[in-house]
Structure 1
Amino acid sequence: MVVVVVRQTSAGVPAAVGGALGAAGLTARLVPLDGGELPPIDLGVVEGLIILAAPHPAGTGGPTLVRDALAAQVPVLALGSGAELLAEVAATGSGPEGPAVELTPAASTDPLFAGPLPAALRPHPAPASLPPGAVVLATARDHPAQAFRLGGSAWGVRFAGAHDSEDETWTGQLLFRFAELVASRAEHTSTRAFFTHRADTWEERFAYQTPAYEAAASRMQLRPGATALDLGCGTGRAMPALREQVGAHGRVLGIDITPAMLTAAARHGRTRHGHLLAADCTRLPVPHRSVHGIFSAGLLDHLPDPPTALTEWARVAATDCVLLLFHPSGRAERAARHGRPLDPGDLLAEHNLRPALEATGWSLDEYEDAPGHFLAHATLAG
């Protein structure tokens, strides 16, 4: 798991940064700005970003990098001039005698800003123009917005320390918390980065599969008024078929962890068929025993912890709930396409899937691994 560290020189990753990342099992990749230039960075192969210096002038790749990281919800920690760049992109000097920097009430629940600040912090004197929705985490008299959070994945820290042991301790704690957060989110970060980059063309690229999605969803045979979930919905190709089954008084939720895919789903009119929600499929914001149908295409075997997901899906399932796992290609077809043989350890192989379902409260009723599709139909056991 790699975290890119943007620094002014090629002198190496600062020891505090490298130590924090290493303790969380992360690898630092230094990107120096010796000539003020920022080389292209593929966010699809990194799990986090620490910006210690901003490119100069600002038009040399920095805004693009920050904008792409915010869009893909790649965790970002921007310090000093990096925080200035973060604030500037998202929205489109004082000496040691300055007022104290203090945490705001919002900081008490922030994953990075826990505990008191050192007393000798110097506020950055320049005004900050933050975008709507930014959460201010630290402020100072006459110098607001000394630290802020954008959404749930990007932080900017503008104030400077007095370089004493107390400040170094606090900065080290901040870096350790950020490294732990990056490590804990690594799987979701890589998924979002992969699909964010492809969201705008996803629907057109795979439009030929839409009839197969509709045919698979129709086999759930949900009753009018039921509640149906499309988990890992992408652009929501199954949602029209689910709506047709549950009728005007039913409920359809399209859930995906990548906001860019949900934006594409809305652009293609899927909000006419149900609601779109950005959420983790292993922690669904759905009440216990409230769902009558769960459709999931190409998701389960790509999750880091499939048993946890199946257990969570059983939690929200009503006693008559139907679970339908689908893929528009069979297992053999997909293996051949990637130039590899069928894997006997594949979760979707019947001898693996059946016990996995049974261990999490499901019973496999139908299993089809045909050349043109994969389909598994399950209901709650007992």
Structure 2
Amino acid sequence: MADDHTHVQEFFTARAADWDTRFPDDGPAFDAAVSALGLHAGDCVLDAGCGTGRALPALRAAVGPGGTVLGADLTAAMLDSAVRAGRDRSGLLIQADAARLPLRARAVDAVFAAGLISHLSQPGPDLAELARVVRPGGRLALFHPIGRAALAARHGRTLTGDDLRAEANLRPLLDRSGWRLDRYIDEAARFLTLAERTD
């Protein structure tokens, strides 16, 4: 597992400085995904794998000044980029592994995770860890600003049946990890899965 974490940190450390400039048009997709999460004023929300914090301003707007926004990422360089962009004003940034969050059980109302699922070393246990920190009935959004086919094409790959984000694979994985899949969208312009924390 340490090797997986080292690989993820090296990958994102090398790309942190120009991450936002590589994807300058993603803002509206992030805003729409945050809106779909259905947050309320005063909620506590975790952005797991927050990267440079692109979702934090929208999350702050959704929960209002009385809410709590936490941004957790494994890679210090990505958090540094979030601070340089001023996004730390929208939430508290913490360097933490999504597989071992420094939060008590049922501490948050919702989790937003952009691009995270592709980088989980143990997807089942890691999604269960996200479930641990969410109250029953709380929400999870797994998001990417482009769909599975477009992302595969960007990386020169074709989709295969074992793709973790395919609905046939993701639904039972979420079920086993403390979540119930409510909505699944996979289109060219976005990938969005919404799930609810089960009891």
1:7-86 alignment to 2 at 5 Å?
A: none
Corresponding position of 2:12:
195
Sequence identity, in percent?
Answer: 50
TM-score, normalised to structure 2, is 0.96
Q: 1:381 to 1:320 in 2, by over 3 A?
A: closer
The aligned amino acid for 2:141 is L
The CA distance in 2 between the partners of 1:271 and 1:358, in whole Å, is: 33
Shift of 1:211: 1.6
What is the CA distance between 1:303 and its match in structure 2? Answer: 1.3
Q: 1:263 aligns with which of 69, 73, 80?
A: 80
Q: How many residues align?
A: 199
Q: What is the match of residue 150 of structure 2?
A: 333
Q: Which amino acid aligns with 1:349?
A: A
- Of structures 1 and 2, the larger Rg is shown by 1
> Are residue 355 (structure 1) and residue 172 (structure 2) matched?
yes
2:179 matched to 1:342?
A: no
SS of residue in 1 equivalent to 2:149: helix
TM-align CA RMSD = 1.1
- 2:60 corresponds, among 213, 230, 243, to 243
Distance 1:376 1:332 in 2: 15
- Structure 1 residue corresponding to 2:23, chosen from 179, 185, 206: 206
User: Post-superposition shift, 1:337?
Assistant: 2.3
State the alpha-carbon separation in 2 of the partners of residues 209 and 203 from structure 1.
9
**Maintained 8 Å contact 1:234/1:262:** yes
Structure 2 unaligned spans of 5+? none
Correspondence 1:287 to 2:127: no
Query: Counterparts of 1:137-286 in structure 2 under 5 Å?
Result: 184-286=1-103
The alignment's TM-score, normalised by the length of structure 1, stands at 0.51
Instruction: Tell me the distance in 2 between the aligned counterparts of 1:195 and 1:341.
Output: 23
Which amino acid in structure 2 is aligned with residue 207 of structure 1?
A: P
Q: Partners in 1 of 2:21 and 2:101 — Cα distance?
A: 29
Amino acid across the alignment from 1:372: A
SS of 1:190 mapped into structure 2 = helix
8 A contact 1:367–1:376 mirrored in 2: yes
Contact preservation (8 Å) 1:214, 1:237: no
Counterpart AA for 1:226: D
Aligned to 2:134: 317
Q: Is the 8 Å Cα contact of residues 8 and 119 (structure 2) preserved in structure 1? A: no
Letter paired with 1:216:
A
Contact in 2 for aligned 1:240/1:270 (Cα 8 Å): yes
| Higher-RCO chain (CA-CA 8 Å, sequence separation at least 6) | 2
Letter in 2 for 1:291: V
Q: Which runs of 5+ in 1 are unaligned?
A: 1-183
AA aligned opposite 1:235:
T
Match of 1:77 in 2: none
